[in-house]
Structure 1
């Protein structure tokens, strides 16, 4: 089963400054063990091998053990931070559990949005000729309904000769784009839930020192750096839409309306905010301004360098500057730029398409087309070092306001609160620039 949330990383909460090498190793083992334990707990709960009471007891016992460990070991991280993450983890897997079900074959699958709507409106749903409908009058008397939504990422794009994606739609990956159900950047980023409206993290500044070979009895090298704490606050993205009561009665139609009018649009705005948010007016502070530009020297293209050459150069900057520590997994670019690159031809009129299956430009590097990306610009990186944190998951409210009653309309509200950041020590995992600038930089002088 494809899990909707990424694995919780507890090592971020372990403060090993000033500890000996042996003491630091103890903390690394503790972090790894806690990660494995929580992943196993997630798996057991989703598969109905334990109930919610047992899961809560397991997390409570873990919390107590951490508090005891803090009193015994010097330098241990703030237990409050870890306990908050444990509570967040518990809330997240309970939410995902509600959005999954076990198939007859024993597998676990995510419920569709329509099924989640039906669950949220339980008690107001009737089934006529196999079609589920909502009793609008009964729901009106209750005053509406509010529920959290788990949106599964789009199915992988298949070729026209391959298996169809969700909904029975076959997509030609040479000319089409998979249906978008959420911010695409989430598929390649570091995503987790948080229980507070802000995140405080540590950045390393002025790092010096590196690993080295050490002779028997020789002095071990050390790394030094100053540590600076940074606080990032969550922002809210929301959208309302109005549909007729007739649409509300037809759950399959309501599902498509919510996807088209709310979920897709919130996803696009969220992704734009992650990179371009101003940090004011309710927006989150985007990471775009902090990503370094192209600066690598030594690459020279003698004959008509193009956009693909610029991409290879940017990719090379990331892997070379980091000594292969990072592996770029995505590039964001405007759909028009992507189309122009696909349509590039050589002098003989033949298409130059250096693309691999699944829109990979270089092995492991996928394209994320985003109309919010400025024409002519791009962002590339190892987006596993882009941290996206959800404070309030996507929630939906179905209700009535103002003169909705008399107009036979229903108001649907979708909203979420989240934040994003890149730690300063990971900035070299990214490059943000224009194709024109990079092409100019790599053009060999006559």
Structure 2
């Protein structure tokens, strides 16, 4: 068939001519209608138009078949080249188009005669910074601190409408059950109900970039987001633990009221003044006891119990010191209430935290803390002031959250410093 010998270019030219004829027939039919042509004359036009359209469809199909065959041929050729070595691929590229090379060289034998010896290519030909070696993917940056909030405390997505977050607390006052002899007055007890409430704060950070730089360095947009988000979460981590609930240093908003604001000061509880040769391990054991006792000494709490801590926070330096205790013979020692590697004290995890100072410790049941997200993390891109006419963009990351520890649960947390806590539990030396 004729179509089998036609090239893509020939089919394209034929389609072009056919479209011209088809347009001409349609124009002539329109004029015939205007001049009052008969039905037979119009029918003849319609038949010619129909034939041209049919031929056009056949030409289009032929063109697609030719393209499919060409694509198949290229794929087969590429498949064959996959097995070539690097040297083989280079040689194939150099020998492709041999006839054209001969023509350019004007040499009957196809050899290219060099009129001048070529210089050796050295690093000087490259030019500084023009051709680089291998560049590893990604951008290196200093690591962020391990997150605290998602590991220890509870979180919830309260959403819009959960600010302020409120709850009801029952506080005992006095009295309680007792045995009563005949005709004696029965004892009474009473308590009060109070509302607890915390309000949300907005944590935010932004970075400004130019549109040109965002286009030239496509990874920049991702890098900006990757830098803003961890910094935002890091600030939230800090405030959940150490936030003072007061205006921040910049004077643009209030900090969250963090765990340390609820912590009870270390007293030593029942170990105060009773530990011989007290050390840091003893201090932490006493802090566990203090949380376990809770608020039993307060009026109305005599029948209540305390809390069982689930974590001990110390600095990386203190955690290293806890691992290096030795006796007089330079043998490593650990107290009997720790695991073999010292990672748990009385069954409670010891966790390094970069926010905790080197002499500080925090012991508590961190599940009693709740971080409520009123609005989760959001990223926005827009213009600030005259950035639009300066071709700049601002990337903003923010979230809205509140943090709370209920009134009674503040006794689940104990804080202190080893410098002041150690003397509190140290047993006084016997008088000579």
TM-score normalised over the length of structure 2: 0.51
Change (3 A) 1:268 1:333: farther
Name the CA distance, whole Å, in 2 between partners of 1:242 and 1:347.
59
Q: Tell me how many residue pairs correspond in the alignment.
A: 260
**Partner residue, 2:426:** 443
**Partner residue, 1:336:** 317
**Partner residue, 1:310:** 283
1:298 paired residue among 263, 271, 280: 271
**Partner residue, 2:292:** 319
Aligned-pair distance for 1:181? 6.1
Q: Which whole-Å deviations, capped at 9, do the CAs of 1:287-346 have from their partners, x for residues lacking one?
A: 42332112203353212x222221111011112347765221112333333333334433
Name the CA distance, whole Å, in 2 between partners of 1:267 and 1:359.
30
Aligned-pair distance for 1:431? 0.7
Aligned-pair distance for 1:352? 4.4
* Partner-residue secondary structure (3-state), 1:371: coil
1:232 paired residue among 192, 198, 206: 198
Change (3 A) 1:364 1:396: farther
Change (3 A) 1:378 1:320: same
Structure 1, unmatched stretches of 5+, are 1-177, 214-219
Residue 205 (structure 1) aligned with residue 188 (structure 2): no
Residue 365 (structure 1) aligned with residue 348 (structure 2): yes
1:191 paired residue among 150, 155, 160: 155
Rg larger in 1 or in 2? 2
**Partner residue, 1:388:** 371
Structure 2, unmatched stretches of 5+, are 1-142, 180-185, 248-252, 297-303
Cα pair 1:358 1:366 within 8 Å, conserved: no
Cα pair 1:245 1:409 within 8 Å, conserved: no
Q: Give the alignment of 1:113-132 within 5 angstroms.
A: none
Cα pair 2:214 2:221 within 8 Å, conserved: no
Q: Give the alignment of 1:30-429 within 5 angstroms.
A: 180=145, 182=147, 184-194=148-158, 195-208=161-174, 224-242=190-208, 244-245=213-214, 249-250=218-219, 258-259=225-226, 261-274=227-240, 275-280=242-247, 281-295=253-267, 296-298=269-271, 300-303=274-277, 305-321=278-294, 325-352=306-333, 356=339, 360-362=343-345, 364-399=347-382, 411-429=394-412
Name the CA distance, whole Å, in 2 between partners of 1:388 and 1:338.
27
Change (3 A) 1:189 1:208: farther
Cα pair 2:270 2:289 within 8 Å, conserved: no
Name the CA distance, whole Å, in 2 between partners of 1:210 and 1:432.
32
Name the CA distance, whole Å, in 2 between partners of 1:407 and 1:369.
46
Name the CA distance, whole Å, in 2 between partners of 1:387 and 1:349.
45
Cα pair 1:181 1:267 within 8 Å, conserved: no
TM-score normalised over the length of structure 1: 0.49
Name the CA distance, whole Å, in 2 between partners of 1:411 and 1:200.
36
Q: Which whole-Å deviations, capped at 9, do the CAs of 1:261-284 have from their partners, x for residues lacking one?
A: 223322232122223233333322
Name the CA distance, whole Å, in 2 between partners of 1:185 and 1:367.
16
* Partner-residue secondary structure (3-state), 2:264: coil
